[in-house]
């Protein structure tokens, strides 16, 4: 089941990346904050809707206690996402997404160290751990390879005139996806630890969705208030030009729901697989945004797909054996 959940997550988040880019106005210096407002609104609505299903109750005290427990993950995610939105003003989806999602590899390594210290790492790989590691390694290599290819393409464009470059700020713009990667690694690692039933902090999946949603809701309100002060008028989320941001936010929340359950089941395997949603982003950007792919990029995409297929086959074998 974890494999299906992770697969649905990467499909939703890959589609979200497409809408994020379509909803980004390169001439608007606050475009990333407007996206954050939309994501905060959608996540907040879902959080309030889920409150009656909370496993620990939804009193002010319980919400505060759970928010403190989950703060390393929620803050890591929120900071990384806002940085990622800002990066879309300067880089194409096919550059941003692969570099950002190297965090799946780094977080898997960090979780492996943590669970090894706690003596429970072996249970996450099952009886076919060697093949699981192989499939995960193929995905990680493909994602990191795609990021390297994109960086090389960016460097080659330095000889072109500024108006001819796709990557207008060159290597400097890469600071956005790199910082995203750092903060997302913190958030994903914290999630894997917090959601684990044996070594976690006692938060169930529903509670995590509520806490994260409410935290982002508050962040969205702060961003909305900032925009009101800076622009001397309130930001209208529902104007015609802003609806694409709403679609991105809905896809983000859909992926978040599947993500939480996948991470609770198999964090060491789910994290690198979910990071492969950059492949969906690259493919969709090629189809809808007309971003062209090179032969090496296709090779990396194929490698990631092969790794996902390996994990899917293994999941079927394990289910049949069980």
Q: What's the pTM value of the predicted model, to 2 decimals? A: 0.80
State how far the alpha carbon of 21 is from the alpha carbons of 4, 25, 129, in Å. Answer: 26, 8, 37
Q: Give the residue from 175, 179, 157, 174 showing the smallest Cα distance to 166.
A: 157
Query: What domain count does the chain have?
Result: 1
pLDDT at 169: 46
Share of the chain above pLDDT 90, in %: 29
Q: What is the pLDDT of residues 87-99, one digit of tens each?
A: 777 766 666 666 6
Q: What is the pLDDT of residues 228-279, one digit of tens each?
A: 999 999 999 988 888 899 999 999 999 999 999 998 888 877 887 887 787 7
pLDDT winner (highest mean) among 38-42, 89-93, 152-156, 206-210: 38-42
pLDDT at 311: 72
DSSP-assigned states of every residue in 74-121: HHHHHHHHHHHHHHTTTS-HHHHHHHHTTHHHHHHHHHHHHHHHHT-G
Residue-number span of the structural domain to which 275 is assigned: 2-321
The average confidence (pLDDT) of the chain is 80
Query: Does residue 21 surpass a pLDDT of 60?
Result: yes
Cα–Cα distance between 103 and 143 in angstroms, integer?
Answer: 10
pLDDT at 283: 84
Query: Does residue 159 surpass a pLDDT of 80?
Result: no
Stretch 158-186: mean pLDDT: 65
């Amino acid at each position: 089941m974890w494999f299906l959940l992770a697969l649905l997550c990467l499909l939703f988040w890959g589609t979200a990346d497409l809408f994020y880019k379509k909803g980004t106005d390169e001439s608007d210096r606050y475009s990333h904050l407007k996206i954050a407002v939309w994501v905060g609104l959608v996540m907040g609505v879902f959080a309030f809707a889920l409150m009656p299903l909370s496993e620990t109750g939804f009193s002010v005290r319980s919400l505060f206690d759970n928010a403190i427990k989950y703060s390393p993950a929620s803050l890591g995610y929120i900071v990384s996402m806002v940085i990622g939105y800002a990066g879309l003003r300067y880089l194409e989806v096919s550059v941003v997404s692969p570099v950002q999602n190297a965090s799946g590899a780094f977080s898997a390594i960090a979780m492996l160290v943590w669970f090894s210290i706690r003596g429970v790492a072996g249970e996450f790989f099952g009886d076919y751990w060697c093949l699981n590691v192989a499939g995960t390694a193929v995905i990680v290599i493909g994602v990191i390879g795609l990021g390297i290819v994109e960086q090389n393409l960016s460097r080659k464009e330095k000889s072109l005139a500024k108006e001819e470059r796709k990557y207008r700020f060159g290597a400097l713009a890469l600071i956005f996806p790199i910082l995203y990667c750092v903060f997302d690694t913190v958030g994903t690692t914290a999630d894997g630890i917090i959601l684990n039933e044996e070594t976690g902090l006692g938060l169930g999946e529903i509670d995590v969705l509520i806490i994260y949603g409410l935290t982002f809701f508050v962040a969205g309100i702060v961003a909305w208030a900032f925009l009101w002060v800076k622009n001397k008028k309130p930001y209208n989320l529902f104007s015609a030009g802003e609806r694409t941001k709403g679609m991105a936010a809905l896809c983000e929340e859909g992926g978040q729901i599947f993500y939480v359950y996948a991470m609770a089941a198999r964090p060491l395997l789910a994290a690198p697989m979910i990071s492969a949603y950059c492949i969906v982003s690259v493919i969709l950007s090629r189809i809808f945004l007309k971003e062209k792919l090179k032969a090496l990029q296709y090779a990396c995409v194929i490698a990631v797909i092969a790794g996902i297929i390996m994990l899917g086959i293994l999941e079927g074998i394990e289910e049949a054996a069980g």
